[in-house]
């Protein structure tokens, strides 16, 4: 099975990295795990050893057929549910449907009660942003996400240099990110051009918006406008934002968007 560049495939071959991903997931025997892009099944195998049920969504039809054979026993036992689909088009209804009658909620089929699940995956790097947006902002969020991402992306999310970005604010608004480990390019086949990293996003929720009584729509409008021109000061980027009081903006106007913390953006959005 050769990796397809068009699908961003790089197969993880490091037992240490796999071990760290499983440890970071804090997986219980009753947990439902959603795995994105299982590839050749190296992580899938580790997940099946500790989780209750794994739903693995693979877009590549060739790999899907390969995994059907490799995990025939687990699929029959219904501990693995293998789905051939594009994760970005994988809707809530699809998730419920994939679980089958035995594992699905006993509520009527048109009633979708929140699913408790975790996302654990070595994701295609070309859709990292889209995956984060899809699962962090959705109504039925995962409890946590353990993801393999590009090392530079992980550094931007963590923003340890105190320089925030839309990406770092987007993640921190919904959960608590943590860098688990750096993963050198040689740990993959084929080896990508850049190093990777395992990150964990725990305690995912919409709570920060509820607690501060601000709409997510207004919050993101302010953040996106503030970051529209990175080198400009906020006073320039937000001067035409009608719902911001000048007195409040004055407290941040001399700063650039990258200098504001999540709490600063919340303060702006609460006005």
Do 103 and 170 lie in a common domain? yes
Whole-angstrom distance, CA of residue 3 vs CA of residue 107: 41
**H or E element, residue 139:** none
Please give the tally of structural domains in the chain. Answer: 2
pLDDT at 108: 45
Q: How far is CA 214 from the centre of its chain?
A: 23
Domain with 251 in it: 209-270
pLDDT at 68: 96
Do 102 and 32 lie in a common domain? yes
**H or E element, residue 173:** none
Which of 185, 205, 225 is a domain's end point?
Answer: 205
> For the domain that residue 179 is a member of, what is the CATH number?
3.40.50.150
Contacts 24+ apart (CB under 8 A), 211-215: 212/266, 212/269, 212/270, 213/270, 214/266, 214/269, 214/270
Do 185 and 246 lie in a common domain? no
Do 37 and 167 lie in a common domain? yes
Do 129 and 64 lie in a common domain? yes
Do 171 and 79 lie in a common domain? yes
SS3 56: strand
Predicted model pTM: 0.89
SS3 114: coil
The model's pLDDT over 123-162, given as tens digits with 9 standing for 90+, comes to 888 899 999 999 999 999 999 999 999 999 999 999 998 8
pLDDT at 229: 82
Indicate the pairing of strand 176-183 with strand 118-122. Answer: unpaired
Whole-angstrom distance, CA of residue 157 vs CA of residue 199: 9
189: which 2 tokens?
A: 């086949």
Question: If phi over 0 gives left and psi between -120 and 50 gives alpha, with beta otherwise, what is residue 236?
Answer: alpha
pLDDT at 174: 98
Do 264 and 190 lie in a common domain? no
Which of 189, 205, 221 is a domain's end point?
Answer: 205
Do 249 and 149 lie in a common domain? no
Which of 205, 221, 247 is a domain's end point?
Answer: 205
Which of the residues in the chain have pLDDT under 70? 1-9, 101-114, 240-249, 253, 271
> For the domain that residue 233 is a member of, what is the CATH number?
1.10.8.100
Name every residue whose Cβ is closer than 8 Å to that of residue 88 and which is 6 or more positions away in sequence. 127, 130, 131, 134
Indicate the pairing of strand 188-189 with strand 11-12. Answer: antiparallel
Do 32 and 150 lie in a common domain? yes
Whole-angstrom distance, CA of residue 54 vs CA of residue 31: 8
Do 173 and 59 lie in a common domain? yes
Do 97 and 11 lie in a common domain? yes
pLDDT at 30: 92
Do 168 and 61 lie in a common domain? yes
């Amino acid at each position: 099975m050769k990796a397809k560049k068009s699908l961003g495939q790089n197969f993880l071959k490091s037992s240490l990295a796999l071990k760290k991903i499983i440890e970071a997931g804090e997986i219980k025997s009753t947990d439902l795990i959603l795995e994105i892009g299982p590839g050749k099944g190296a992580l899938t195998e580790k997940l099946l050893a500790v989780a209750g049920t794994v739903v693995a969504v693979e877009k590549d039809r060739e790999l899907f057929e390969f995994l059907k054979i490799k995990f025939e026993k687990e699929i029959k036992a219904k501990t693995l549910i293998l789905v051939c689909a594009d994760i970005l088009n994988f809707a809530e209804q699809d998730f419920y449907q994939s679980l089958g009658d035995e594992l699905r909620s006993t509520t009527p089929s048109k009633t979708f009660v929140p699913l408790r699940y975790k996302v654990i995956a070595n994701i295609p790097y070309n859709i990292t942003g889209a995956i984060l947006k899809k699962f962090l902002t959705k109504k039925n969020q995962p409890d946590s996400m353990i993801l393999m991402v590009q090392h530079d992306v992980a550094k931007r999310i963590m923003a340890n240099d105190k320089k925030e970005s839309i990406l770092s604010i987007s993640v921190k608004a919904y959960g608590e990110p943590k860098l688990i480990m750096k993963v050198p390019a040689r740990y993959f086949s084929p080896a990508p051009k850049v190093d990777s990293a395992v990150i964990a996003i725990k305690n995912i929720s919409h709570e920060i918006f509820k607690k501060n009584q601000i709409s997510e729509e207004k919050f993101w409008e302010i953040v996106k406008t503030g970051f529209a021109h990175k080198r400009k000061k906020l006073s320039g980027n937000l001067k035409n934002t009608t719902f911001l009081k000048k007195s409040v903006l004055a407290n941040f106007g001399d700063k650039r968007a990258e200098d504001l913390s999540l709490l600063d953006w919340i303060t702006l959005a609460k006005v």
